[in-house]
Structure 1
Amino acid sequence: MKSSEHLSRRSFFGATGLAAASLMTGLPLTRAWARHSQNGAGVAFEPGVAFEPDLALELTARPQNVALRPGSATPVWSYDAKVLKGDAASVRTHPHSTLGPTLHMRQSQKVRIDFVNELDQPSIVNWHGLHVPADMMGLPHYEVAPGKRYRYEFQVNDRAGTYWYHAMAAGHTPEQVYFGLAGLLIVSDDEEAALPLPRGEYDIPIVLQDRTWGQDNQLHYLAGTGPAASRKPQTGDGSTGQGGMMGGGMMPGGMGSMMTRMMGFFGDSIFVNGRPAPPIELATHAYRLRVLNASNARTYKLAWKDGRLLTVIATDGGLLCEPVHKSYVMLTPGQRVELWADFSGDAVGSDLSLMSESFSSMMNMGDMMSGSGLMGMMGGMMGGGNRMSMSSLPDGAAFPILTAHIAHKVGNDLRLPAHLSNFERLSAQDAINQRDPRSFHVTMGHMQWGFNGRSFKMNSVAPDEIVRLGTTEVWEFVNSPMMAHAIHLHGLQFQVLERTGSPRNAGVTDGYVDEGWLDTVLIMPGERVKLIMRFADFTGLYAYQCHMLEHAAAGLMRDYEVQASRVST
């Protein structure tokens, strides 16, 4: 099988022009090297010392037309990347796809990325899962206007693993991600390189997204959104950053848009790697499948149709200590999982189906929706008591994701390692708040999601959202009995200490993979999840949110602030 990726032709011709790039306007040229590590960890840079990147890229967001189906090309927003300095293979494209190029980086590498915004609305690039300084994270505080640029400069501090990047903007995150502004970011390191893992054509990305087709091969999201829509000036409830990333008012489009805003978008077609999924041809070999859920709101219950086990070797933050075998794996928006899939015993000509199996994403919705007002109105749109009926492929439905066709026979000398990695297990004994964890309750009021009754507000941090650099803490997230959420923390990885109140009959609990480092965790209705994390290296404003993007846009996102351990006087 040939790899589904190829080297970007532009990347081979982009090794020149670095000096010219530094002359472009709108770049915060001194931002990164004016910062230094607060605790001597050596992961940032000394004041006044020029930043010399090992890898320099230019990443541009722009409208494009992509041939996804026969007939008219589909208008999308796309990322285009070129290498200005470093290895040309650091950028690999997905042709005829909405997906941004896959970026390859190495641990300890110094990276400069110039983001160029050629959209007609503000945007910034968020580096999902990376541990970087706050002003390099790509949060809405730093979004740039159309025609402007932003320069990122950071050292890759993370373990080898599958990370990703996507657009963020105070008024437009779900829309921009839906229409194409997302891509994989793969980090390698020496520990991973020493393992006998599948590489090259046997290392395959599987980026999952759900979309809905409109007329003339256009993607349908909400009225007045996307690259084909005529943009109108925002009025009082636009991208002010008040009351949620969508602003305080309603999105256009009537009842359907209101439901999407509150409950999330669920498309009726599955895209794999940025396009409708054709069968993929594989060999009788072991594969490394890097699966990313880049959907706006849909959670997947991954399983092989023939019942074979899924072998998990890595989660959001890299390799597990040892492989974990599951009959199914839950993958919520923003999460990644790496699977060891060995097809050496399959017959040439056979087909295997990767499925999303059925599960319940909402609990007791019939009782909750029986009242009047908004809850009663939503209840009338629910099918089967716990599924949205506005999509022909509702959340929790069963459907095929892709078909793998075993096309040819090859020799396979790879065997699954019994041990994969060594990493530190954080202990609750080391947490400064072990006896009194911070508690964040998912709340709903006045058509706004929130944590502890507070919805997103730009640059607003409550006293219980301030932490100290160099400390380890336990945070507990408590979900409402309404619906599932995908809790994501920016700027760090965490570990799961415990879950309580997990639903017994939803068909999800055996699919949790909580053994490794995570940055996103599925929390079901009525469930409590305790997370442990360490605030290291950087001060500043970060964020925690639901990564079901419409939920975050409707308020389920807040900032937290890391302050220096000692305040000088």
Structure 2
Amino acid sequence: MTTIINNARRRFIVQSGLGMLALSGMPSFLQAMEGMTVMPRIPPRKANPNFKADVEFDLYCRPSKVAILTGAETEVLQYSAVLKKGPKQTLSNIPGSYLGPIIRLQKGQKVRIVLHNGLSESSVTHWHGLHVPAEMDGHPMYAIDPGATLVYEFEVLNRAGMNIYHPHPHEATASQVYHGLAGALFVHDEEEAKLELPSGEHEIPIVIQDRLFDEQNQLIYARNKHDRMAGFYGDHILVNGRPDFKIDVASRAYRLRILNGSNARIYKLAWDDGTPITVIGVDGGLLEQPEVKAYVMLAPGERLDIWADFSGRSVGSQLVMRSLAFTGVLPKMAQRMGNMMHTNQLPVGSDYPIFTVRVTKSVSDSPKLPAQLSSYPRYHINDVANPEKPVPIAISESPMAMLLNGRTYADNDVQDFERIKLNTLQLIEIFHASGGMGMGHKGGGSMGMMGGMMSMAHPIHLHGQQFEIISRSVSSDKADDYETVRHGFIETGLKDTVLVMPGESVRIIKPFQDFKGVFMYHCHNLEHEDMGMMRDFSVE
């Protein structure tokens, strides 16, 4: 599916005694990138007495302390929840983790969630992957002040899949997520239930993150401009909030539900003994048929549903999930600077372990992998409203800003092509633009000296309904780097986040159905998002 084209915040404030990055110590150009826009505020939404909820719970975000490393507890921000109505399995905590409770919903349920902001700054929660009305989506304009509450009410329209909930306040998403505010949200439906896939103790959520700690086990964040320009990277890999994560399994099949919860780090997942990875689902749920890969790429905000069969493995054996070596996602200059400044002890694109699986029990029975998993609408170019004029999402970088379509984020700044007619399918092209600061044009080899020096990979997330990838192409001058990742992309299934490599162009078809209003699209490298690499679609 991939072709080679031949082309010649103003603040990081104290959130709960977690520490402060003094603004006076920030480079002047970084200060200019922070606080560039003022977000209008919508009064907090109250409960609709006519909305009859099947499920209702309170969701709290507040400071906490959790033991992560040996020694002192780490100060974090944490989601917690209290179920008020609905099945008891709706909420379940991950023991010993700072991550929020796992939320499990059924397609068709009507849900009311009351968000309580216990932070010292404004916040709002986004339901990453869910198809909900615009006012329920967690747009920054709906952020609430400390001590306030916000009511979400929506019907679950999604098919079965793994989604995410996390903060989305203007210019503060990255720091709030980094300090702990994130969780997994699963939707289940009848199609999934009929497959009888591994469940209960045999279905394991795996949230991969990287974090940096000081000598007192406290989180370090945003020390210098390099941390923000390339995205922030830690030197400890955490799974479900724990280092050196190990899973004890029986000799049978399991379902691993994997989420990249890192702010910026991209992973190239593979088993250490060369066992192929069997993928049965991605962001938007199950694939039609399983896909077998030697490795799989996973960018921030992306999810994988993996069938892992340990049948035939002896008790005492181990298998390690690693991130293998790859190149091209960061500017070489940025990587060299990181090494010289000793700011990155776990370089992006290096080889390192993620978690270990230990076989501790032998069993004789195991479920069989279904040959046919699911069905979903397939989108075709003949069905889109704009087959000859794709909606552009042009990526450009410079030392001063990260841009989409030549602009940083601003309220009420919707361009004509960002106005989308309701109930249409749209062809969208995401590409690296030449020309640095401007909108530019497609191109990988003609970006100019500064564009080439700054070019990096960007995971682009589109709010609202999930899309299908139609094609990928990459410029010839980026082909060598691209070869280290190209076989790890899952190009079927429904997606809401797609990794766009330097010099690459990705075409997608996305539906804009059911709901009018403003829906965001942005880079899910969260530092880039906070720097303004974010725009709005207005569905009208």
The TM-score range, normalised by the shorter chain, is 0.7 to 0.9
3-state SS of paired residue (1:510)? helix
Ranges of 4+ aligned residues in structure 1 off by more than 6 Å:
none
Match for 1:561: what amino acid?
Answer: S
Amino acid at match of 1:276: P
- Counterpart of 1:435 (choices 381, 388, 409) is 388
Counterpart of 1:116 in structure 2 is 116
**How far apart, in 2, do the equivalents of 1:55 and 1:27 lie?**
21
Indicate how the Cα distance of structure 1 residues 380 and 280 shifts in structure 2: closer, same or farther if over 3 A, else same: closer
Match status 1:296 vs 2:263 = yes
The answer to whether structure 1 residue 487 and structure 2 residue 460 are counterparts is: yes
CA distance in 2, matches of 1:549, 1:178: 9
Residue in structure 2 matched with residue 476 of structure 1 by the alignment: 429
Matches within 5 A, 1:7-22: none
Corresponding residue SS for 2:245: coil
1:445 offset after TM fit, Å?
A: 4.3
Letter paired with 2:253: A
Contact 1:290–1:339 at 8 Å: present in 2 too? yes
Name 2:311's counterpart in structure 1.
Answer: 344
Inter-partner Cα distance in structure 1 for 2:218 and 2:194 = 45
Asked if 2 retains the 8 angstrom alpha-carbon contact of 1:124 and 1:144, the reply is yes
Question: 495, 512, 530: which is aligned to 2:489?
Answer: 512
2:196 maps to 196
Provide the C-alpha distance between the structure 2 equivalents of 1:362 and 1:293, rounded to a whole number of angstroms.
Answer: 16
Is the 2:403–2:533 contact (alpha carbons within 8 Å) kept by the matching residues of 1?
Answer: yes
**Partner of residue 455 from structure 1, selected from 405, 408, 412:** 408
Q: How does 1:92-103 map to 2 (within 5 A)?
A: 92-103=92-103
Does 2:531 correspond to 1:545? no
Alignment of 1:381 onto 2:337: yes
Equivalent position to 2:232, from 244, 247, 265: 265
Q: Give per-residue Cα distances to partners, 1:10-36, cap 9 Å, x unaligned.
A: xxxxxxxxxxxxxxxx85225xx6xxx
Task: For 1:161-560, list aligned pairs within 5 A.
Answer: 161-222=161-222, 253=223, 257-362=224-329, 365=331, 378=334, 381=337, 383=339, 390-445=343-398, 447-479=400-432, 481=452, 482-501=455-474, 503-506=478-481, 507-560=484-537
Task: Give the TM-score normalised by structure 1.
Answer: 0.81
Mapped to 2, the partners of 1:294 and 1:544 lie a distance apart of 18
**Aligned partner letter, 1:306:** D
Deviation of the 1:209 alpha carbon: 0.2
Post-superposition shift, 1:74? 0.8
| Residue 362 of structure 1: how far off its partner (Å) | 3.5
Partner amino acid for 1:381?
A: M
Q: Given that residues 282 and 304 in structure 2 are in contact (C-alpha distance below 8 angstroms), is that contact kept between their aligned partners in structure 1?
A: yes
Note the C-alpha offset of 1:383. Answer: 5.0
Shift of 1:550: 0.5
* CA displacement at 1:171 relative to structure 2: 2.6
Structure 1 residue 404: deviation in Å? 0.6
More off after superposition, 450-459 vs 511-520: 450-459
CA distance, structure 2, for counterparts of residue 96 and residue 326 of structure 1: 33
- Partner of 1:236 in structure 2? none
Moved more, 428-437 or 181-190: 428-437
The 2-side partners of 1:271 and 1:491 are apart by 29
Whether the aligned pair in 2 keeps the contact of 1:311 and 1:341 (CA below 8 Å) is: yes
Shift of 1:380: 5.8
Unaligned runs of 5+ in 2: 1-42, 434-451
Q: What is the letter of the counterpart of residue 305 of structure 1?
A: D
Using the TM superposition, give the Cα deviation of residue 382 of structure 1 relative to its aligned residue in structure 2, in angstroms. 5.2
Distance 1:400 1:446 in 2: 32
CA contact (8 A) 1:286 1:412 kept: no
Asked if 2 retains the 8 angstrom alpha-carbon contact of 1:79 and 1:101, the reply is yes
Q: Per the alignment, in what secondary structure is the counterpart of residue 479 of structure 2?
A: coil
Between the aligned partners of 2:203 and 2:362, the Cα distance in structure 1 is 17
CA shift in 2, pair 1:277/1:52, >3 Å: farther
CA–CA separation in structure 2 for the residues paired with 1:402 and 1:432: 45
State the alpha-carbon separation in 1 of the partners of residues 210 and 79 from structure 2: 19
Deviations 1:345-365 (A, max 9, x none): 1111001000000111347x4
Are the aligned partners of 1:382 and 1:389 in contact in 2 as well (CA < 8 Å)? yes
Q: Distance in 2 between matches of 1:155 and 1:423?
A: 19
In structure 2, distance between residues paired with 1:495 and 1:476? 12
1:98 Cα shift? 1.4
Give the whole-Å Cα distance in 2 for the aligned partners of 1:473 and 1:191.
Answer: 27
Paired with 1:209 and 1:180, the residues of 2 have a C-alpha distance of 10
The match for 2:22 is none
Give the fraction of aligned pairs with identical amino acids, expressed as a percent: 44
Query: How much is the aligned-residue C-alpha RMSD, in angstroms?
Result: 1.6
Q: CA deviation at 1:221?
A: 1.1
Q: In structure 2, how many angstroms separate the alpha carbons of the residues matched to 1:470 and 1:331?
A: 30
Write the deviation string for residues 308-366 of structure 1: whole angstroms up to 9, x where unpaired.
Answer: 10000000000000000000000000000100000011111001000000111347x45
Q: Please say which of residues 69-78 and 513-522 is displaced more in the overlay.
A: 69-78
Task: State the one-letter code of the partner of 1:391.
Answer: N
Q: How many residues align?
A: 474
Write the letter of the residue equivalent to 2:503.
G
Identify if the C-alpha distance between structure 1 residues 149 and 459 changes in structure 2 by more than 3 Å, giving closer, same or farther: farther
